[in-house]
Amino acid sequence: MKGRLQLDSKKNSLAGVLLLASPKLLDPNFKRSIVLVSAHSSDEGAIGFVLNRPLGKTLGQLKPEFLYGSLAQVPVYQGGPVSQDKMIFVAWRWLDDERAFKLFFGLTEDKLLGVMAQEQDLSVRCYIGCSGWSQGQLEGELAQDAWVPTPVTKEAILSQGGEGLWRLMLGQTMPETLISGLVPKDPSLN
């Protein structure tokens, strides 16, 4: 996982890539975040979800209607600033090649239950909201070094997240940023 990901100019897509927020990205929606890009094209923009913002609750704790169902223990995460009134189910299964996975994004409750019945060894999460960029917006942010594109790792996907994961991955990808990644959120309180 060492080093920045070099994008394939032929593919020209960030789908399936992790975006680590640069230490200089101060937008509170994305500060110290790790975003998994699920779809991206230069014509339509991008969509994904923040991996490392767990709410510390399960679906059953958050929504009483799920308390006794098969989804009660699904962990809930803050997925991003877009569509925060929606729950988005995401599931993935690692393939035999430890660097590849099958992603099921934007599932409804019924579709998720169907996928769970057909697929083995699924990791499932519920995201409140998602992350989205309009045409050219993400490319502009990348040009300003707001994000560090990084290959997906099993560790990143399966981790419970938090800022510790962001620091770890940023330090492994760009060791020169490690010190700035250790600065408290509000240095004036130091």
CA pair distance 36, 48, nearest whole angstrom: 5
What is the model's pTM?
0.84
Q: Under the phi-then-psi rule, with left for phi > 0, alpha for psi from -120 to 50, and beta for the rest, what region is 56?
A: left
Summarised one tens digit per residue, pLDDT across range 126-160 is 999 999 999 999 999 999 999 999 988 877 777 77
Task: State the average pLDDT over residues 79-98.
Answer: 89
Just give the CATH number of 17-178: 3.40.1740.10
Summarised one tens digit per residue, pLDDT across range 94-103 is 887 767 788 8
* CA of residue 73 relative to chain centroid, distance: 20
Cα four-point dihedral sign 95, 98, 100, 105: positive
**Paired strand residues for 126:** 76, 89
Every domain of the chain and the residues it spans? 17-178
Phi then psi dihedrals of residue 179, to 5 deg: -65, -45
What is the structure's pLDDT at 7?
52
